[in-house]
Amino acid sequence: MVSPALDEILIGESEGTRALRAQILDVAENNEATVLVTGESGTGKELTARAIHTCSARRDAPFVDINCASLPPNLLESELFGFEQGAFTDARARKRGYFEMADGGTLFLDEIAEMSTPLQSKLLRVLEQRTVRHLGGTEDLPVDVRVIAATNQDIRALVPEGRFRSDLFYRLNVVPIHLVPLRDRAGDIPSLLEHYRLTLNARLSRNCTGFSGDALEALCHYSWPGNVRELKNILERILILYNPSVIEIAHLAREVFSPPSAAAGPLRLTLPPEGLSLAPFLASVEDELIRLAMERTAGNVTQAARLLNVPRETLRYKLSRILPAGGKTGTELRRQGSP
């Protein structure tokens, strides 16, 4: 049975996400197995790793995360395994490594594909022997750690290229968890939107009550290249900038329908296979051009109206539609700050 707590952490009602929650609970029950989480950026790899930890018997011990791409190989090695005083020039005092810090808990190795191959061999040794040896040390220190690794690369394809050791790949891939892109599990979108509307309302002191039908449809058909992180960020921007009572299609103009800029060449449009709603789409293009004109003129309505060749009063009226939060001008919007 899916625990209610996990339902509240890992949101989504698609079949795939329900199966993912069940898999997380299975993996959590087995306290040892190494897990390899793969998926595009923003699909929830770290969230999944933390959920496995939280649902497991290791929950009261530390969850230690390290991004393998964030440190040069030597530093990563000393941070992971620890070192003795004098092991290298800057080793002024003995230091415990991340493996020891995570003892009893979980070590999350993010962007594992970026780890150098010599370090991959050393990691494999630790995983097989369940002991670590400090740099410059002689003692093998036992560690009880579950390793969860993550990558947004096709790590299997790196093996024949010699960029990832096959023995480490198989050692990590005991439990593979692949997170599918959000565009391929559109069934999750409504519940994610609802979840983030509520949590962002609370965090930002907003009172957004929902989405218009058109806006919801557009959000469900959008391709979400940045996956769940992008969805959360878009909602956050809209709530901060517009403080809307209902999220309308006009709020999405810049985010979801943004036409290519003039600098990128003539406007080229594609018709999505499922078609689109012409009027809201055209309105979103109009809104974007108005926004650009307001930006270029630093919020001066008279100059912006001249740029767009429309009467000033027409522009004022259109602005009040685009900016329901009291019809703020571009300058006022910028002053509130874009996150």
Is 44 a binder of ligand ATP (CB under 6 A)? Answer: yes
Of 21, 39, 145, 165, the residue at the interface with ligand ATP (CB under 6 A) is 39
Is 114 a binder of Mg ion (CB under 5 A)? Answer: no
Report d(CA 118, CA 73) in Å as an integer.
Answer: 9
CB-based contact 129:139 (threshold 8 Å): no
Is 41 a binder of ligand ATP (CB under 6 A)? Answer: yes
Is 295 a binder of Mg ion (CB under 5 A)? Answer: no
Residue nearer to ligand ATP on the CB measure, 231 or 322:
231
Residue nearer to Mg ion on the CB measure, 148 or 256:
148
Q: Smallest distance from the beta carbon of 124 to Mg ion, in angstroms?
A: 23
CB-based contact 107:66 (threshold 8 Å): yes
Of 18, 156, 229, 237, the residue at the interface with ligand ATP (CB under 6 A) is 229
Of 11, 52, 290, 322, the residue at the interface with ligand ATP (CB under 6 A) is 11
With CB under 5 A as the contact rule, which of the stretches 45-53, 120-128, 266-274, 325-333 interacts with Mg ion?
45-53
Is 40 a binder of Mg ion (CB under 5 A)? Answer: no
Of 7, 13, 40, 46, the residue at the interface with Mg ion (CB under 5 A) is 46
Nearest of 18, 17, 53 to residue 33 by alpha carbon: 53
Residue nearer to ligand ATP on the CB measure, 100 or 188:
188
CB-based contact 288:250 (threshold 8 Å): no
Q: Which value, to the nearest 10 degrees, does the dihedral of the CA atoms of residues 106, 112, 114, 118 take?
A: 80
The partner in contact with residue 42, picked from ligand ATP, Mg ion, none with C-beta cut-offs of 5 to 8 angstroms by kind, is ligand ATP
The partner in contact with residue 106, picked from Mg ion, ligand ATP, none with C-beta cut-offs of 5 to 8 angstroms by kind, is none
Is 10 a binder of ligand ATP (CB under 6 A)? Answer: yes
CB-based contact 133:87 (threshold 8 Å): no
With CB under 5 A as the contact rule, which of the stretches 44-52, 87-95, 263-271, 312-320 interacts with Mg ion?
44-52
Subset of residues 147 to 186 that bind ligand ATP, contact rule: CB under 6 A: 152
The partner in contact with residue 47, picked from Mg ion, ligand ATP, none with C-beta cut-offs of 5 to 8 angstroms by kind, is ligand ATP
With CB under 6 A as the contact rule, which of the stretches 4-12, 120-128, 163-171, 273-281 interacts with ligand ATP?
4-12
The partner in contact with residue 299, picked from ligand ATP, Mg ion, none with C-beta cut-offs of 5 to 8 angstroms by kind, is none
Instruction: Extract long-range pairs of 49-54: CB within 8 Å, 24+ residues apart.
Output: 49/106, 49/108, 49/148, 49/150, 50/108, 51/6, 51/9, 51/10, 51/24, 52/24, 52/27, 52/28, 52/106, 52/148, 53/28, 53/105, 53/106, 53/108, 53/146, 53/148, 54/5, 54/9
The partner in contact with residue 215, picked from ligand ATP, Mg ion, none with C-beta cut-offs of 5 to 8 angstroms by kind, is none
Of 12, 82, 97, 105, the residue at the interface with ligand ATP (CB under 6 A) is 12
Residue nearer to Mg ion on the CB measure, 38 or 284:
38
Total residues binding ligand ATP (CB under 6 A): 16
The partner in contact with residue 132, picked from ligand ATP, Mg ion, none with C-beta cut-offs of 5 to 8 angstroms by kind, is none
Q: Interface with ligand ATP by CB under 6 A: which residues? A: 10-12, 39, 41-47, 152, 192, 228-229, 232
